[in-house]
Structure 1
Amino acid sequence: MGRDMKYDERLDYDKPVETVLRMYTDRSYFERKYRDSGAWDVEVLEHEQNGKRFRIKCRFSMKSDAPLPDFAKKFIGESVSVVQQDAWDLEKLTGRIDTEIKGAPVKVFTEMQLKPSGQGCANHLVWNVSCGIPLIGGKLEKVLAEDLQAKSRTDYQVSLKILRDY
């Protein structure tokens, strides 16, 4: 088994926690973010919000930007179909993203913690990527982690633009 690959990321925002959380829990933010990040066939599958919790599950397709080695191309084509669920505990300011890449034998989840920072706030993310395929699993995890990091940077830049509207 490949050992799980973890990496941390910090997203800084120049608005307070309440404003960023309002964006992170707005259905239209997700639809706009995915479209503006180059995704297509964006569809909200589930969406719920009560006083303490928020959850949204979306399906979309996007181009795979990873420079895939030949062995990985059979799992991940030119484009990927993704189902992603974002969930937030609004009182603890913690969240989790579960990402399923159709046809890819990997599990991806991300834990989030939103905290005040300087004049604004920061979202601290811990990514977990694992692949259950012996021998090539570790290589596939590394390739996917690099692709996810690139997509996350794009996602962040798009989110910074969208945040101006909140």
Structure 2
Amino acid sequence: MPSRFEHRATFAAQAGDVFSTLVDEMFLTARLRDLGGKSAALLDHHSTGESAAFRLRQGVDGSKLPSVVRSIVNGDLVVEREERWRGYESAGRATINGVPADITSRGRLTERGGGTELVISAEVKVAIPLVGGKIEKVVAEQVTKLLAAEAEYAEKWLAERA
């Protein structure tokens, strides 16, 4: 059974500014440089006024992986993510090299009390008998930490440019 989780982040900025930042090519490139790990790269990026789509790669050093993941992944972990935004709503998907895993997400920016809240609902499915559930939980925990770090990075970026 897939592992589901939700992540919430708040920003002092208005939703339009948060959206513009989260899909900005310069922001994404800087975020990947600072948080993306080994071999991080922005692989594709398209943006118009109210929509955006991008694909990126992030890496995790194999020595930093939990043992349950190291048992099935040889070497470093490479994650490819894609996000599509229409207005203040997103749909995302991620895959992990060498792991029959699928991560899907939906996000929404909402104006809240002079700021903005980002809510991301996600699901992790790992199709490995016996250990798939354990790996799903590890992946969900790691993705939650990554989303928190990315939100903190975005908040700092917004504050520096206000």
Q: CA deviation at 1:51?
A: 3.9
Displacement, 1:19? 0.5
**Counterpart amino acid of 1:32?**
A
Structure 1 residues 105-160: Cα deviation after superposition (integer angstroms, max 9, x where no partner):
21111110110011201011101101111221111101111111122222222222
Q: Displacement, 1:30?
A: 0.9
CA contact (8 A) 1:110 1:127 kept: yes
Partner of 1:29, secondary structure, is: helix
C-alpha distance in 2 between matches for 1:40 and 1:146: 19
Does the 8 Å contact 2:44/2:55 carry over to 1?
yes
Unaligned runs of 5+ in 1: none
**Partner residue, 1:24:** 22
Residues 11-90 of structure 1 correspond to what in structure 2 (within 5 A)? Answer: 11-63=9-61, 68-69=66-67, 71-76=68-73, 79-90=76-87
What are the within-5 Å matches in structure 2 for residues 85-100 of structure 1?
85-90=82-87, 93-100=88-95
Q: CA-to-partner distance for each residue in 1:42-80, whole Å, 9 max, x for gaps?
A: 3222211234421011123233697623x4313345632
CA contact (8 A) 1:98 1:108 kept: yes
Is residue 150 of structure 1 aligned with residue 149 of structure 2?
no
Where does structure 2 lack aligned partners over 5 or more consecutive residues? none
Output the TM-score relative to the length of structure 1.
0.86
Bigger helix share: 2
Structure 2 letter corresponding to 1:112: G
Q: CA deviation at 1:34?
A: 1.6
| Matched AA of 1:74 | S
**What TM-score does the superposition give when structure 2 sets the normalisation length?**
0.88
Tell me the SS of whatever aligns to 1:148.
Answer: helix
Give the counterpart letter for 1:117 in structure 2.
R
Letter in 1 for 2:21: M
Counterpart-to-counterpart distance in 1, 2:85 and 2:63: 28
1:96 CA drift (Å) = 1.6
- Contact 2:53 2:82 (8 Å CA) reproduced: yes
**How far, CA to CA, are the matches of 1:82 and 1:30 in structure 2?**
15
